[in-house]
Structure 1
Amino acid sequence: MNVSRAPHPTGLTSDLADSDRRTSNRHCTVYRIAAVEREGDAGFWRVRNISDNGMMLAASVDVAPGERLQIALSDTARLTGEVVWAENGRCGVAFDAPINASELLKQLAAEQKASSYRAPRLAVRSHATIVTDEGSREVDVVNLSQQGAGLAHEGDLPVGTKLELILEGGIRRRGIVRWSRKGQSGVWLTAPLEQADLESIRRFED
């Protein structure tokens, strides 16, 4: 898709006719978080709106027109597109192929109500420290969500263990081990990580 029109913070381009805006079937999704992957980085960015042809994302990281993005709204809803404008912490993304935005939002709402729903996660490879009643030890963080962390470690880490997780950069959260097997564990964080802390996994990588 060739785009040479001026950027506009409320849509994909500034010169869309009013009729085009009406038929683009735009929906506000202010409170939805997407896991965005791009070359050399990934993070959680906020979805500000979505249409059949594109979406607006908000993040404080540097983004450039022409960047390719893979956008996961859930484990099953994944989109690809290209940044067509970026300014003031927001960017517009044109999808590689049109979607049915209305049906997609219905699907996402249904998924969130399901008992098997799992929030999007970011794949990370970083050292961290956990502190339990037994003392402190080093672990590897293999994935992060706002409410949880996947850990790889030596020895046992029993289900129900209460701990403090200290991430690279000094971010600290208390949590409880929800599952553990063969040197891997999942930790539920009692206070969620801030979305802004997870806009780029580069801050956590060694």
Structure 2
Amino acid sequence: MTYQPRGFDPAGPASGAARPRAERTVSLLIVAKLVAAGQEALCRIRNLSETGLMLETSVALRPADRVRVEVRHHPPLDGLIVWAEGGRAGMSFDAPVAVAALVAPAPAPVSRILKSRQPRGPRVAATARVTVELRGRRLTGRLCDISLGGAKIMIPVAPRPNDVLQIHVPGLPAKAATVRWVGEEVGIAFAEPLAYDVLDAWLAGSALVDGAG
């Protein structure tokens, strides 16, 4: 089943026949944040044009669902789902976008641990109890949000910027990280990014737990 908004003619589901596009479509792979029905999740943008995109997500989407897709260095993209099948979905934008600006690479910060530039991915709100090893102490804290490359946490001891720590989030691999900023919460960057499939599955499991509560 598809929902076809006026003026938008996206490529259909992967299993369907190709449909003519109204404008040039760019094939790419961008990790983004998907907001649907008040829930945040990860998604991967596969195709993009001025009027819509195709994405992959573990979220169960349906035609006519209103969604928002957020790419870290670009204003949010709002629109409607026009088709959904097999973990992929087509989205029609509320307003045309500049494709060149959206696909332009964003500057990446330098990891003090790896001495190389690490891409910043979208941060997704998530809550979990975490254990942090810092300066020989083992602390219990709380996760506020997480991305492939880092997280925002709350811990009872204020670290210093550039401190190196180890963070353990139940269900995720332990990660070495560097403190980026300190306020009421603490922003950290992982030495090595999480795998997309690992974080996506963890977020999906967290959403199921939250939904059952």
**TM-score where L is the length of structure 2:** 0.75
Q: 1:160 to 1:104 in 2, by over 3 A?
A: closer
Question: 2:185 maps to what in 1?
Answer: 184
Aligned Cα root-mean-square deviation (Å): 3.1
Q: Does 1:8 align with 2:12?
A: yes
TM alignment of 1:24-39, pairs within 5 A = 24-30=23-29, 32-39=30-37
Kindly indicate whether the alpha-carbon contact (under 8 Å) linking 1:41 and 1:202 is maintained by their aligned counterparts in 2: no
TM alignment of 1:1-206, pairs within 5 A = 3=4, 8-10=12-14, 16-17=19-20, 21=21, 23-30=22-29, 32-105=30-103, 108-109=104-105, 112-113=106-107, 118-132=120-134, 134-168=136-170, 170-199=171-200, 201=203, 203-204=205-206
Distance 1:136 1:103 in 2: 44
Distance 1:114 1:71 in 2: 20
1:53-79 residue CA offsets vs partner (Å, 9 max, x unmatched): 110001233222222111111243310
CA drift of 1:155 comes to 1.9
CA drift of 1:84 comes to 1.3
Distance 2:64 2:17 in 1: 17
CA drift of 1:114 comes to 7.0
**Residue type of the alignment partner of 1:36:** L
CA drift of 1:197 comes to 3.2
**Residue type of the alignment partner of 1:79:** L
Q: 1:203 to 1:16 in 2, by over 3 A?
A: same
Distance 2:91 2:12 in 1: 12
Q: 1:198 to 1:16 in 2, by over 3 A?
A: same
| Identity score, percent | 23
Distance 2:147 2:122 in 1: 6
CA drift of 1:103 comes to 4.3
Structure 2, unpaired ranges of 5+: 111-118
CA drift of 1:80 comes to 0.5
**Residue type of the alignment partner of 2:23:** S
Kindly indicate whether the alpha-carbon contact (under 8 Å) linking 1:173 and 1:191 is maintained by their aligned counterparts in 2: no
Distance 1:87 1:46 in 2: 15
**TM-score where L is the length of structure 1:** 0.78
Kindly indicate whether the alpha-carbon contact (under 8 Å) linking 1:157 and 1:177 is maintained by their aligned counterparts in 2: no
Distance 2:147 2:77 in 1: 19
**Residue type of the alignment partner of 1:8:** G
Q: 1:75 to 1:126 in 2, by over 3 A?
A: farther
Structure 1, unpaired ranges of 5+: none
Kindly indicate whether the alpha-carbon contact (under 8 Å) linking 1:35 and 1:122 is maintained by their aligned counterparts in 2: yes
Count residues with an aligned counterpart.
194
